[in-house]
Chains A and B, each alone.
Chain A
């Protein structure tokens, strides 16, 4: 007789909730790299142009946000020591954002600022509201919230702030709702998303997952609280500086605050790595650790931007800054963590009731490791070459960088599809 599963177990999220996000994100990644390949000339234009806006939004929403939404639905039980409150809200999050993103991106691409852009933004806002409600109801259903839960709660608030401001900016194109034109609020909108949503969430999730996957017992909640407050301080001070129109030099305070936070997080990861139980670190964890180092690149670009901006010596530094964020640390951590989380989700779906009946493959055997390595090397090569292209503005270099990034995206899609559509062997 088999008794029910033991108490004290983390209830895992239904795979049906999570997999659509991963699939959607992988398609977005290939679309974004294809657009980058077709429009490498954006490096010579002002950053507020239709193609740059379209590529940025498919990367930020379709790629980064969708995969993080999927992963965070899966990882909420791990982060908040509870369970995902509502599968329905999770499905609604996917449906609304999945419909809204292509509408918004196409509207940016054609720069039609009318109803389609507005509908796209409204759909995305509804999807994000569903997500925020789910995060709050899941987190506050347990009596106590740990530091990781506060990272995800706060990040979800910043995500809503980002998309809501985005909605206002979209309507501001047609109805002049705000005191200034939409371009004036672009850096606020961007940094709410980059720092408040992506950075806070990636660090909140990474600080739990990286030690967990390294099988390291290292933990330091005090340092993580410091990181949490420094990031929020950096963001809020940035918003205040923009609001009061202070001198550019005041931004150094915000930059320093976030730089210190990233350094402390880097030290946290290094210590977790040093006391890891598993000595052999797999490629996916190496990619994730590389992404932690890559967090410093945008900061370096930002400091240089602040030095150059007053005289406008090198306007492309803004593009370099954005590229280092979206194609740099964000893409790197997604590439690494996808193949740490996705195989487990699918393995649990396919094998958790069959593991004792026959020999089952390990989760890492659900994807092709050789393809993963080629993807990683092509990504790193494409990333470096494209950066050289942005700095040198040589067309051939930009095209080569974009082609290599596109190849890495194709390899990524191949491997994610291989995992998502995995079928058990017939002997099982």
Chain B
């Protein structure tokens, strides 16, 4: 597990995180990793597929398309020859306990 993200490949997960730290929730101004929006990052070397399971702060987030689109683009940049699957889940729903200490500091909590 890296930064509370379930993964089957820590090295590749860290490689993905470099890009994902630059994907922001535009409303909050905080990156999706410190917000705790990414639940799982799994890598299939045989099929060259990245499976990303993530959530949004609310199911009705009007910026959802932009955030998931940016996530897909970021993973594509990190793994250019790979197939990227970004799956959205609301189970478990996101809550403030998923925010990292750095994120809490940013939010003034």
Report which A residues bind B (CB closer than 8 A).
1-3, 5-12, 74-75, 77-78, 81, 208, 212-213, 215, 217, 277-280, 344, 347-348, 351-353, 355-357, 362-363
- Does A352 contact B83, Cβ atoms closer than 8 Å? no
Assembly CA distance A6 to B82 (angstroms) = 17
- Does A278 contact B107, Cβ atoms closer than 8 Å? yes
Q: Known A3-B85, A356-B77; judge A78-B60 contact (CB<8 A).
A: yes
- Does B88 contact A280, Cβ atoms closer than 8 Å? no
Nearest-neighbour CB distance to chain B for A14, whole angstroms, equals 12
Q: What would 12 more interface pairs be, CB under 8 Å, given A5-B72, A8-B59? A: A2-B84, A7-B88, A10-B59, A12-B62, A12-B65, A77-B60, A344-B63, A348-B62, A348-B63, A357-B73, A362-B26, A362-B29
Quick check: is B100 within 8 A (CB to CB) of the other chain? no
Residues of B contacting A12 in the complex (Cβ-Cβ under 8 angstroms): 62, 65
Residues of A contacting B57 in the complex (Cβ-Cβ under 8 angstroms): 215
- Does A9 contact B65, Cβ atoms closer than 8 Å? yes
Among candidates B66, B70, B86, B107, residue contacting A277 with C-beta atoms closer than 8 Å: B107
Assembly CA distance A77 to B86 (angstroms) = 21
Assembly CA distance A277 to B36 (angstroms) = 13
Q: Known A348-B63, A348-B65, A356-B70; judge A217-B95 contact (CB<8 A).
A: yes
Report which B residues bind A (CB closer than 8 A).
19, 22-24, 26-29, 57-66, 68-70, 72-74, 76-77, 82-90, 95-96, 99, 107-109
Closest Cβ neighbor of B66 among chain A residues: A352
Can you spell out 15 A-B residue pairs with CB atoms less than 8 angstroms apart?
A1-B76, A2-B73, A5-B72, A8-B90, A9-B65, A74-B62, A75-B62, A77-B60, A77-B62, A78-B62, A280-B107, A347-B26, A355-B24, A355-B66, A356-B77
Residues of A contacting B60 in the complex (Cβ-Cβ under 8 angstroms): 10, 77-78, 81, 208, 212
Assembly CA distance A354 to B51 (angstroms) = 22
- Does A2 contact B65, Cβ atoms closer than 8 Å? no
Nearest-neighbour CB distance to chain B for A346, whole angstroms, equals 11
Residues of B contacting A278 in the complex (Cβ-Cβ under 8 angstroms): 28, 107-108
Residues of A contacting B22 in the complex (Cβ-Cβ under 8 angstroms): 356
Residues of A contacting B89 in the complex (Cβ-Cβ under 8 angstroms): 8
- Does B76 contact A2, Cβ atoms closer than 8 Å? yes
Nearest-neighbour CB distance to chain A for B7, whole angstroms, equals 19
Residues of A contacting B70 in the complex (Cβ-Cβ under 8 angstroms): 355-356
- Does A3 contact B86, Cβ atoms closer than 8 Å? yes
Assembly CA distance A30 to B33 (angstroms) = 43
Top-10 shortest CB links A-B: A279-B108, A356-B73, A6-B88, A78-B60, A352-B66, A8-B88, A277-B96, A355-B70, A1-B83, A9-B64
Assembly CA distance A217 to B59 (angstroms) = 12
Q: Known A1-B83, A277-B99, A363-B27; judge A6-B68 contact (CB<8 A).
A: yes
Among candidates B62, B68, B74, B108, residue contacting A280 with C-beta atoms closer than 8 Å: B108
Closest Cβ neighbor of A7 among chain B residues: B88
- Does A2 contact B64, Cβ atoms closer than 8 Å? no
Nearest-neighbour CB distance to chain A for B46, whole angstroms, equals 15
Closest Cβ neighbor of B82 among chain A residues: A1
Residues of A contacting B96 in the complex (Cβ-Cβ under 8 angstroms): 217, 277
